[in-house]
Structure 1
Amino acid sequence: MTINPSSGALTPGTTVDLSFTVQEPSGSSTLNDLVMSTALTSPQWSYIIYVNGNPTAPTQSAQETLDISSFLLTYKSSDDVSVGVTLAGTTPTVTQTSNQTLVQIYEEDTNGNQIGTPYIATAMVVNPADVSTAIANANAQLSQLKTDIDEKTALGVDTSAAEAQYNAAQSQITQAQALPATQYTTALNDITTATSDISNGESLLDKSWAEAEISTAQGPVNNVDTLIAFFQGNQSTANDPKLSTIINEREIAVSYISAANDFVTSGNFASARSKAEQAYTEGNQSYNDAEAFYIQVTTTWNPFGALGDIGSIFSSSVLLIGVGVVAVVLIVVGIIIYRKRSRWDELG
């Protein structure tokens, strides 16, 4: 069978030409009608029956279904019988892009029953609005991804991976928009690729957001670790019950961070963010308690500590004054000793 156009999707109103031959089985005669039908509009059929290579007169038909009677096809079993057919028509208007039957060929018995499996040739006929709709939907999704990227950028989230997907999707959509309607399949493939890129971009953005939340939650834990090390390094605080409370709070925060990382690995980014928020709250509580304990401890060691920064300055000033007094005393003592030794030398 020869079909023109031979490839690609077709737009409504496209002229299609078909040419083919139906060969009767060798060494047998037929008792069935040969039936052919088409979904093309304004069909023009023409067929010639060949018997041992000799043609009959051409027969034309403008019906949707062509029925060649078994009477016209019945010859001696030793005869070679075939039917040469041409068909021309136009592709129909469709409300939805779909495959349309160019020709269907089958046999029908005397009772009107279809015999065997029909031969069917199809072509995709495009509803141009489908491409426009697909492109519009893809552009809307692309715009939403851009909005989400901008929002996360403002939050300090690393959006580079999502931006790469955005750029790839934008390129595919632009490419689809430039294609003619006859390349419908290629255009839809481009749009399918673009929507996949957009979906990946949203997922990568969600992942980066979750990772950023986990990183934020790690901050208080890192801070409290420094204070815990300080407390554990001093005998007066190493076994204090308050330190145990601080450590317990810190461990809870760490467990939430671990759970958040597990959720990231499994792709459940919303749950990862939720656990990261819990980790931040618990870690911050641990750090606040540790800071309060640190102030309490340093106030006990430093009598001026209760005055805050001023107390620290005052304490430092007192220390410097004390060191100065000691230095002066040492100098005076040194002078006295020097003078005594000098007198001893004068006396011989």
Structure 2
Amino acid sequence: MMKALKRLILITALILIIVPAVSVAYTVNSMAINPSSGALTPGTTVDISFTVQEPSGQTTTNDLVMYTALKSPQWSYIINVNGNPTSPATSGSPTVDVSGFLLTYKSTDDVTVAVTLSGTVPTVTQTSNQTLIQIYEVDSNGNQVATPYTQTVLVVNPSDVTTAIANANSQLSQLKTDIDEKTALGIDTSAAQAQYNTAQSQISQAQSLPSTQYSDALNDLTTATSTIANGETLLDKAWAESEIATAQAPVNNVDTLIAYFQGNSSTANDPRLATVITEREIAVSYISAASDFVTSGNYASARSKAEQAYTEGNQSYNDALTFQAAVEATWNPLAGLGSVGSLFSSSVLFIIVGVIAVVLIIVGIIIYRKRSRWDELG
């Protein structure tokens, strides 16, 4: 048993001697990037400086790899050991590999790498994030160790900004056309107009920003697009509400006639009135459904139901007018002649009134003369 234990300890010791210590991750300090914020346009010069702190207590150090997507990069780095700099090294390649051999010192030494980088922002076919600096380690087999340290920047394709503004203006123009069309139909477009005014201001603000503030411009344009969409929605809602109001008009008209019929004992229980009321109730149910669709935001269905309500309500009103004409015909024999009958009826009434007036005048004259004669006779 003791022999087996000694053998295990010996094997473990040999493994520790043969296998190098696993590297502890480096740290990046004092990262400075100029320009320090905002999106960049192609051709802009970028200056970067930073320090890489190598882990202490190492007997073997991995290679330090640094990469940039900047064009025409100019690297310069100095290895400092306990504050004492070595000779500077330079490179003009996108990728710089600092050998682990150059970074390997006594485990008690403090090893840092001071790096400066200068380059220009590359041209991009579309606005996208580009790598300013990426730092990572690779082991002796070329395998990447741990997660890279990465700094990116949004690089703007100027044509993307122009396109985004053009698209927003196109949508704004369409909203204006839609507003004008609905205004001509007598629809209340004030809510949509307010959204139009807001979106127009947001687009103007985006257009006034320099390319370095592309992100802000993009945010303004995104907000403007959302505002335009909201304007179209409000316009659609106003249209649906207008259709419902139009459908309500014949219902209101027929309600007046129904109340008139129900107030007369001769027509209150007439089967024709029942038909009018049934049609009116159907129209009201369609209006109710249309209102529910407006509440749920389904404005196309709301307009469809409002159109059905208008058709049914108009039918009810027309039937009520026909019923009214039939009832009045029983009171006025000439009513059946339509407008002509009404004209004759009015003429006859005028003549009757005129005759009565003449008779009253003649009687008055006769009475007056008799009284005058009596007065003369004393």
TM-score by length of 2: 0.85
| Partner in structure 1 of residue 255 of structure 2 | 225
Task: Please tell me whether residue 198 in structure 1 is matched to residue 225 in structure 2.
Answer: no
Aligned residue among 95, 98, 119 for 1:65: 95
Whether the aligned pair in 1 keeps the contact of 2:53 and 2:111 (CA below 8 Å) is yes
How many angstroms does 1:175 deviate by? 1.5
Task: Please tell me whether residue 251 in structure 1 is matched to residue 281 in structure 2.
Answer: yes
Aligned residue among 131, 134, 137 for 1:107: 137
For 2:294, the aligned partner's letter is V
Q: Distance in 1 between matches of 2:294 and 2:59?
A: 72
The more displaced of 115-124 and 24-33 is: 24-33
TM-score by length of 1: 0.92
How many angstroms does 1:29 deviate by? 4.1
Q: Distance in 1 between matches of 2:352 and 2:69?
A: 109
| Partner in structure 2 of residue 346 of structure 1 | none
| Partner in structure 1 of residue 170 of structure 2 | 140
Q: Distance in 2 between matches of 1:212 and 1:281?
A: 15
Identical amino acids, percent of aligned pairs: 77
Aligned residue among 100, 117, 137 for 2:147: 117
Q: Distance in 2 between matches of 1:113 and 1:180?
A: 43
How many angstroms does 1:15 deviate by? 0.6
| Partner in structure 1 of residue 272 of structure 2 | 242
Q: Distance in 2 between matches of 1:321 and 1:173?
A: 75
Q: Distance in 1 between matches of 2:355 and 2:160?
A: 94
Whether the aligned pair in 1 keeps the contact of 2:39 and 2:156 (CA below 8 Å) is yes
Q: Distance in 2 between matches of 1:101 and 1:29?
A: 32
SS in 2 for 1:115: strand
How many angstroms does 1:27 deviate by? 3.1
| Partner in structure 2 of residue 170 of structure 1 | 200
| Partner in structure 2 of residue 89 of structure 1 | 119
Aligned residue among 273, 278, 282 for 2:308: 278
| Partner in structure 1 of residue 216 of structure 2 | 186
How many angstroms does 1:147 deviate by? 1.0
How many angstroms does 1:237 deviate by? 1.1
SS in 2 for 1:276: helix
Q: Distance in 1 between matches of 2:352 and 2:170?
A: 75
Aligned residue among 262, 265, 268 for 2:292: 262
How many angstroms does 1:324 deviate by? 7.2
CA RMSD in angstroms, aligned pairs only? 2.4
For 2:133, the aligned partner's letter is V
For 2:216, the aligned partner's letter is T
Whether the aligned pair in 1 keeps the contact of 2:46 and 2:118 (CA below 8 Å) is yes
Aligned residue among 315, 333, 343 for 2:345: 315
How many angstroms does 1:178 deviate by? 1.6
Q: Distance in 1 between matches of 2:167 and 2:159?
A: 12
Q: Distance in 2 between matches of 1:68 and 1:332?
A: 135
Q: Which runs of 5+ in 2 are unaligned?
A: 1-30
How many angstroms does 1:183 deviate by? 1.1
Whether the aligned pair in 1 keeps the contact of 2:58 and 2:104 (CA below 8 Å) is no
Per-residue CA distance 1:176-210 (angstroms, 9 max, x = gap): 11221111111111111111111111111111111
For 1:221, the aligned partner's letter is V
Q: Distance in 2 between matches of 1:323 and 1:144?
A: 65
Q: Distance in 2 between matches of 1:30 and 1:149?
A: 73
Whether the aligned pair in 1 keeps the contact of 2:126 and 2:157 (CA below 8 Å) is yes
Aligned residue among 111, 125, 129 for 2:159: 129
Q: CA, structure 1 residues 63+324, in 2 after alignment: closer, same or farther (shift >3 Å)?
A: closer
How many angstroms does 1:165 deviate by? 1.0
Q: Distance in 1 between matches of 2:44 and 2:225?
A: 30
Task: Please tell me whether residue 50 in structure 1 is matched to residue 84 in structure 2.
Answer: no
How many angstroms does 1:319 deviate by? 4.8
Q: Distance in 1 between matches of 2:185 and 2:255?
A: 26
For 1:272, the aligned partner's letter is A
| Partner in structure 2 of residue 24 of structure 1 | 54
How many angstroms does 1:307 deviate by? 3.2
Q: Distance in 2 between matches of 1:201 and 1:128?
A: 29
For 1:88, the aligned partner's letter is S
For 2:131, the aligned partner's letter is T
Q: Which runs of 5+ in 1 are unaligned?
A: 344-348
Give the length in aligned residue pairs. Answer: 342
Q: Distance in 1 between matches of 2:344 and 2:299?
A: 52
SS in 2 for 1:101: strand
How many angstroms does 1:171 deviate by? 1.3
| Partner in structure 1 of residue 19 of structure 2 | none
For 1:122, the aligned partner's letter is T
SS in 2 for 1:57: coil
For 1:238, the aligned partner's letter is A
